[in-house]
Structure formats: structure tokens, C-alpha cells
């Protein structure tokens, strides 16, 4: 195998950035998948992603129709436009899947995530954590002499921003639900 003959200082680009500059851009998409609520369905859907090397950034699942026994899986994934189209087509071919919606391209949608933050601190750090929680409309759902547990609901970006501000104030632990989303409008 021939070595790369790159001289020091020959390129201003990083060796880690070897991606083709003409390749399609990566996009973040939120998919809503309506499926039968039965054993093994989630494993089949997730198997599609793992078997083809697709990444899942966020995954939430819950039954949405008790009488019809259907569940909604909300998946946030990243890929090129052609990969996203391939994911949607392959999801649609799985037998217990009834509907696949790409909320990113179907029009405006509302996305929310719930997170719990355990923040430990005393004195000024405790006061500052409470002040920031008020700004972010976070609720203190548990309080001890040494810590708080805050509940925050909002966009993933809001959750990330709150976490960044709480780290220097004593963020100990965080739990996130993942994104849930619905299309806006009457349909």
C-alpha cells in the first residue's frame, strides 16, 4: 500500500475531514411511525436501523390508541436526503407499520422533550441554580439541603442550554425522555 505523500503544512484541512466535499449534506429528521402494539415490533424497527448502520439520536414509544392497539414511535435520525428516503421506504415495508410520517418535511411540527436534572450545591451556587431554573421555567420537583431535581420541558436545544448552564453549578445527573413531536394544524 502506497503511503500518502502529504508534506507538513501542505493543506489547511484536517486529516479527519476526508469527506467528499461534493457529497450530500447530513440532515436531522424526526419520523413518526404508527405501529401495531405487539411484542417484537420495536425490535424489528430498531433492527432496521442497526442492521444498516443508521444512527438513532432519540427514540420514544408509547401506546396512543388502547382500543386499536397502536403505538407511536418517534425517531430522530441523521442522514443524507437519500438515506432518509431509504429509511422511510424500509420502515413502510415492515408488516406491523401502518404509517410513516417525516415531520421535518411535512410542514411545521411541535417538538418537545422532558428532562430531569439533579443539581447539587450550597450557598451562591444554590441560589444561582434556582434563578436560572426560573428563567427556563424549570420546576423543582425535589429538594434537599444539598440538591435539587429540576424538571424541564422544551426543545432539545433548550434542554442542552439548561444543562450547559447547570454544569458549573453542580450538575450531578441528567435523564432525558427523547423527542416527541406532532404536526401542527388540523391534520
| DSSP states along 29-71 | EEEEEEEE--TTHHHHHHHHHHHHT--EEEEEEEEEETTTTEE
What distance, in Å, lies between the first and last C-alpha atoms of the chain? 58
Partners of 31 in the β-ladder: 75, 102
Class for the domain spanning 109-183: alpha beta
Mean pLDDT of 49-72: 93
What CATH number belongs to 27-102?
A: 3.30.70.260
> Residue 146 has what DSSP assignment?
S
* Model pLDDT, residue 21: 62
By C-alpha distance, which of 70, 69, 75, 65 is closest to 101?
Answer: 75
Residues of the chain with CATH 3.30.70.260: 27-102
> Quick one: pLDDT band at residue 85, thresholds 50, 70, 90?
very high
Least reliable range by pLDDT among 19-28, 84-93, 113-122, 161-170:
19-28
Cell numbers for 48: 432496521
DSSP string for residues in 60-106: EEEEEETTTTEEEEEEEEEE-HHHHHHHHHHHHHSTTEEEEEETTTS
Q: Residue 6 above 70 pLDDT?
A: no
C-alpha 121: how far from chain center: 29
> Quick one: pLDDT band at residue 186, thresholds 50, 70, 90?
confident
> Quick one: pLDDT band at residue 162, thresholds 50, 70, 90?
very high
What is the spatial distance between Cα 152 and Cα 17, in angstroms, rounded to a whole number?
36
Which sign does the torsion angle of CA 43, 49, 50, 55 carry?
Answer: negative
Backbone angles phi, psi at 86, to 5 degrees: -65, -40
* Model pLDDT, residue 87: 94
Residues of the chain with CATH 3.30.70.1150: 109-183
Mean pLDDT of 25-29: 91
* pLDDT tens figures, 97-140: 999 999 999 989 999 999 999 999 999 999 999 999 999 999 99
What is the spatial distance between Cα 61 and Cα 180, in angstroms, rounded to a whole number?
9
* Model pLDDT, residue 20: 61
Q: Residue 78 above 60 pLDDT?
A: yes
* Model pLDDT, residue 22: 65
Least reliable range by pLDDT among 16-20, 135-139, 152-156:
16-20
Mean pLDDT of 139-151: 96
Cell numbers for 33: 411511525
Amino acid at each position: 500500500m502506497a503511503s500518502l505523500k502529504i508534506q507538513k503544512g501542505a493543506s489547511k484541512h484536517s486529516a479527519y475531514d476526508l469527506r467528499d466535499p461534493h457529497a450530500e449534506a447530513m440532515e436531522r429528521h424526526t419520523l413518526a411511525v404508527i405501529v401495531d402494539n405487539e411484542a417484537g415490533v420495536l425490535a424489528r424497527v430498531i433492527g432496521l436501523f442497526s442492521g444498516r448502520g443508521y444512527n438513532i439520536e432519540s427514540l420514544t414509544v408509547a401506546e396512543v390508541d388502547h382500543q386499536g392497539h397502536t403505538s407511536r414511535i418517534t425517531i430522530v435520525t441523521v442522514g443524507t436526503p437519500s438515506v432518509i428516503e431509504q429509511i422511510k421506504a424500509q420502515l413502510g415495508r415492515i408488516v406491523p407499520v401502518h404509517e410513516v410520517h417525516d415531520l421535518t418535511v411535512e410542514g411545521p411540527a411541535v417538538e418537545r422533550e422532558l428532562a430531569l436534572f439533579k443539581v447539587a450545591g450550597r450557598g451562591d451556587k444554590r441560589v444561582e441554580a434556582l434563578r436560572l431554573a426560573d428563567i427556563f421555567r424549570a420546576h423543582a420537583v425535589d429538594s434537599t439541603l444539598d440538591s435539587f431535581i429540576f424538571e424541564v420541558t422544551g426543545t432539545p436545544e433548550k434542554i442542552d442550554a439548561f444543562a450547559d448552564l447547570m454544569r458549573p453549578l453542580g450538575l450531578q445527573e441528567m435523564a432525558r425522555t427523547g423527542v416527541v413531536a406532532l404536526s401542527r394544524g388540523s391534520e
